[in-house]
Structure 1
Amino acid sequence: MIVTADAPGTQMLNSFFTRVAESHIKTGHLYLTFPDGSAASVGDGTGGRVAIRITDSRTVRRMCINPELALGEAFMEGTLIVDAGSIYDFLELLFRNTSVTRLNGVPRLLRAAFGAFNRLTGYNSVARSKSNVAHHYDLNGELYRLFLDSDSQYSCGYFEDARASLEAAQLAKKRHLAAKMALLPGQRVLDIGSGWGGLGLYLAAHFDAQVDGVTLSQEQFGVSNARARAAGLNGNVSFDLKDYRDITQRYDRIVSVGMFEHVGRRSYAEFFAKVHDLLTEDGVMLLHYIGQTGQPSHTNPWILKYIFPGGHMPALSEVLPVIERHGLVVTDLEVLRLHYAETLRDWRQNFMARRDEAVVLYDERFARMWEFYLAASETAFRHQGLVVHQIQLARRQDAVPLTRDYIGQAEARLRDSEVSQRAVGTDDVPAGEAKQMA
């Protein structure tokens, strides 16, 4: 239902916007206010009321044509204001009612065109990869301290218990990854996309592993090496500012967490060919990345423009055929479904509790951008088919045990080891403290 005000020249645009909203949002209660003062109510009226106000006609037009990009930009610019509820509530209502297969009209045509363009341009060269990484990961390190755990794990946690804290879930993630790597003491490990160093330090501390981490982020490179020195593990762990394509040494184990999303669709063959060459004959790789449950779909254009340029979250159908063509065997595959939604919930709540500090670090527009990013990401994992794929790869079928029992057994041993290390005070230095030392 639309309630109109006297606003000549805009009523038709507002009516069109309302019809588009009504065609997608069937459940819930969304109240829209347009720049001319007219208003509309969309949905069946159930649940909490969410009210948004659009302050200029240009934003209405842009959201009619390309809502995937214009919605986030309007919130950043302050031309879309949430009067009742929050931006999370609005996105939860929107994503709960829509999916990539249910868009219609001009937005659907634009999505198809954008997807085709991405398929043609989805190759990330070394230079482009470094630029893409710098866009996101070389922001002020204090920003990440506002919402991450003390180890600065910027990837999906592993919630063994729904009530687990963020700290517990991120520790469990490292434990789960280590167990699935079937790592033996003293083996050589390559960490592709090593972040702030937490996983590499964990593997060195609990397995006496020789870990080489590579990152394209100058910020992460400095912090991770400072952490290794502070923890007395720099004899076992080194982090290098290097692209994985420039590595020539072979490794017993390779792990990559949250990096594959940045490889680019047209770079998958290059990636898995390199993994094959870097693994020893009996080596094992564990690949952890954000993927999709349905058919392949392009990355949201707002995310590509403002958060992760060059990024893509693949469906298994885009990844498994490439693996098969490069002499690698899939020895285990696990899908973590709502674990990332729970992780993002904690990040979003942490960020909102310290949002004023983000404004001081950057400005209000940046804080709105980050608020939208965290809210959109969480709701996408809850309602839009995003998941995490963990794929275990090897060159030989007998590289890992016959059954998965070894994973639980290794996790149990690691829990005991973690308790012992805490008892003697050998935990590595948190990333925030290491940043001050670097």
Structure 2
Amino acid sequence: MSFQTRGAVAALLLFQLCQPALAQSDEPTHRAPENIGLDNSPDDVDNQLADSEGRYDALLPVGPLEPIHRQWEDVTRRLSGDVGLELGLNYTVLYQGADTSLPGWQSQAAVGDLDFFGRWNLVNRGDSWPGALVFFTENRHRLTEIPPSDLGRAIGSLWGTTNAFSMQDYALTQLYWEQGSREDRLISRLGKMDPESIYDRSRYVSANEAFVNQAFSTTLAMPVPNTGLGAALAISPITNTYIVAGVHDANGAKTSFGDIEKGELFTAVELGVAPGHGKPGAGLYHVTLWHSDSREAAGIPGGRGVALTFQQELGPDGTIVPFIRYSYGEGGAMPVRQAIATGFGLERPLGQNNDLVGIGFSWGQPTDRTLRDQYVIEGFYRLQITPHTNLTPDLQITFDPSENSAEETIVVGGVRLRTLF
């Protein structure tokens, strides 16, 4: 019996076991605080919980998994109301195929990504800033010979055709305590966390939700470590402004608790302004400064750099959202020295509240100046096909791939299927 089949059977058994034991509650599933500065990423656990709770306008009123969705909603609503435990589950499949590849490499890649996560509000549950234990677990299993995370190397690109979507055994990748104070306008996190979901994030920086290519779904010239032990603090000194500062294990690893005892750290500070936060016409402007210690065992030198992001909603409903992002870094064994990514998102183009069109252009300068600069154009359409499932066709064109001088352009087509529980 496959991992996915065993998981489905276990989930159904859990539903049946939990149903008679839990009392009915009308409390909403997700009541997380508004973490200005820490909630800029769609991949943040709080945002994923809110996303899982939504029932979106869709082409089809119900999907084939509707009975399971309704059972899941009933159980999670009761858990939230009774013990403050909010749970989310999603499954994402990404397929990508290139029109060429380097000798010895495959030109097609696909992976399945199963995420189970939650937030257990344990202190001041009735408050808008509860103390909570937050966790995230995931499994990534390849569906082809190589996963999409390797396709960039397969075609000779300077960076990946996607962020994440690698292979990984089921693991507890995040486990941290979050505590806030509305009076002091601050919130803190301590434990094993993902720095990539904290620094230099914005609404389209997510390979799960928006652009797929690494030029748009991460910060190319910033060597953010993997999930590991660390601490982060966000404070809003003035309305719609924030400062985020953090220190993290530079040797973080998703499948372990890393090597914090080595004292090799990644530190970052972000200063941001979010005018009109939470209202149509809102903007997001921030600058991130970072430093990475040298990693002796890995043979990686220290580094430092800066990243800037500017994003602004336009139009009467704020549904046109242009953005521009810039990053520069030196040291840290990064393949990219500096990069620019710009484009726009068009939200709700057909009136459905989760549909999204995105078009972006990027440029990247290699750290190795013997290589040529690389450019990428990406376009996608995220279509909500059922209230809980979206389908995203994606097209990328890479110009002058830095590590494949035999090609001038490489086309990568892809499709992402994502179901939320």
TM-score class normalised by the smaller sequence:
under 0.3
TM-score by length of 2: 0.28
Identify, as 1 or 2, the structure richer in helix.
1
Higher relative contact order (CA 8 A, sep 6+): 1
TM-score by length of 1: 0.27
Higher gyration radius (CA): 1
Identify, as 1 or 2, the structure richer in strand.
2
